[in-house]
Every structure is written in C-alpha cells, then in structure tokens.
Amino acid sequence: MTLHEFIFYIVVPILSISVLLILWRFLIGPSIVDRIIALDLIVTTGIGFIAGYSILTNRPSFLDVAMILALIAFLGTVAFSYYIQKRNKK
C-alpha cells in the first residue's frame, strides 16, 4: 500500500465521516451556540482536508488556502460571539 492509497482510502474517509457527524450536530443543535461551535469545527476539519489533499496531489500551494481558512474561522467565531452578546443587551 503506497502513501497515496493510504491517504486516499483511510485518512480522507475518516475526515469525511467526522464532517458528517459534525454536520448532524449543526442541524440538530439545540441552541445557536452549538451551531456556531459546529461551524467552527467544520472549518477546522477543512484545514485538515487541505493538508491531506496537498499530500495527495503533491502541491504545497494549497497550504496558503489553509492559512486563510484558519483566519476566517477565528474571525467568524469572534464576530458571532460579539453579536450574541450584543443581542442580549436589548
């Protein structure tokens, strides 16, 4: 089994299953906070996907996208928590 096959048949499917589980929590989440956490974790898993994909295709330029994605996930969570706190004020 080569490294390409290992990542294609084992690592990427595990990541896909975990994204599906997180998506389930995103759909049923009782409060809005659960949904925000699930969204954050989906984006974080996307960074892992990009790392695996850059090994698969042998192209390291995908890792720039991972950096931007980490930044956007952090900014999104901060903005969501800011607006939840602001909504309470009224």
Partner 1 sequence: MTDILVAIFSLSGAIFILLASIGLLRMPDAYLRISVTTKAATLGIGLLLIAAAIHFQDFSIATRILAIILFILLTAPISGHLIGRASYFSGVKLWKDSIMDDMDGKYNKATQELKSEDVEELKKREKKERKLIKKNPAK
CB 36 within 8 A of CB 80: yes
CB 65 within 8 A of CB 54: no
What is the spatial distance between Cα 14 and Cα 69, in angstroms, rounded to a whole number?
20
Contacts with partner 1, residue ranges (CB under 8 A): 2-3, 6-7, 10-11, 14-15, 17-19, 21-22, 24-25, 31, 33-34, 36-38, 40-41, 44-45, 47-48, 51-52, 54-55, 60, 63-64, 66-67, 70-71, 73-74, 77-78, 80-82, 84-85, 87-89
CB of 23 to partner 1, least distance (A): 9
CB of 30 to partner 1, least distance (A): 8
CB 32 within 8 A of CB 84: yes
